[in-house]
Amino acid sequence: MKLRMPTPERLEKITNTCTQRRKGIIVLEDIHDKHNVEAVFRSCDAFGIQMLYIIFDKERPFDPRLVGKNSSSSANKWIDFKIFSKTEDAYAELKSQGYKIYATALTDEAESIYETNFIAQDKVAIALGNENRGLSKFAIDQADSCIIIPMLGMLQSLNLSVTASICMFELNRQRLVSGALENFLLADEDCDLLVKDFLNR
């Protein structure tokens, strides 16, 4: 089948999007609701995060590509993901690549995301857990740091996808105001490969 060439406008949109992708990975451990995962995909696209690690240890696995597949605007078309069956394997890969892992968890040692210095390193992974149980003990204990979103009301939790969005917003905000955004963007060669990949998609 002959591939259709993109219009100049479409090529410009793809190129601009790829050049704005930032380093970083969102880790989802044992998420139950498929639509929560799709919502996180959309936020990743909005905030320039290209990669998701999805762990199915206790929850039944599902294919994120099938969620919202009938929608041409489905974000999972544009975001990359890797599936793991064990949190240990996902964490080991992140650490081998030099990522600092931040676990979203309500612990005594947890630091407010507004006080967390996300720009101290360019490789940041933010881990979020099951809608009811949260992150596993291993995911919390083996993270480099725990973070929370301070709550001003009676409740102490937010919807998973909302939490992910706020964390990505704060990560992005700190990088923008640092004056050194170029340090957190994908390398030129990775960006070029992503453009070619997007054209195939």
Q: Which residues of the chain have pLDDT under 50?
A: 1, 70-72
Spell out the domain ranges in the chain: 17-194
Residue 75 confidence (pLDDT):
81
Give the contacts of 46 (CB within 8 A, at least 6 positions apart). Answer: 165, 168
CB atoms under 10 Å from CB of 62, counted, come to: 15
CATH class entry, domain 17-194: alpha beta
Q: Are 129 and 30 in contact (CB under 8 A)?
A: yes
Residue 79 confidence (pLDDT):
95
CA 161 to the chain's CA centroid: 11
Residue 71 confidence (pLDDT):
45
Q: Which two tokens stand for residue 70?
A: 């009938």
Give the contacts of 132 (CB within 8 A, at least 6 positions apart). Answer: 32
Radius of gyration of the chain (CA): 17
pLDDT, tens digit (0-9, with 9 covering 90-100), for 90-147: 999 999 999 999 999 999 999 999 999 999 999 999 999 999 999 999 999 999 999 9
Q: Are 98 and 144 in contact (CB under 8 A)?
A: no
Residue 156 confidence (pLDDT):
79
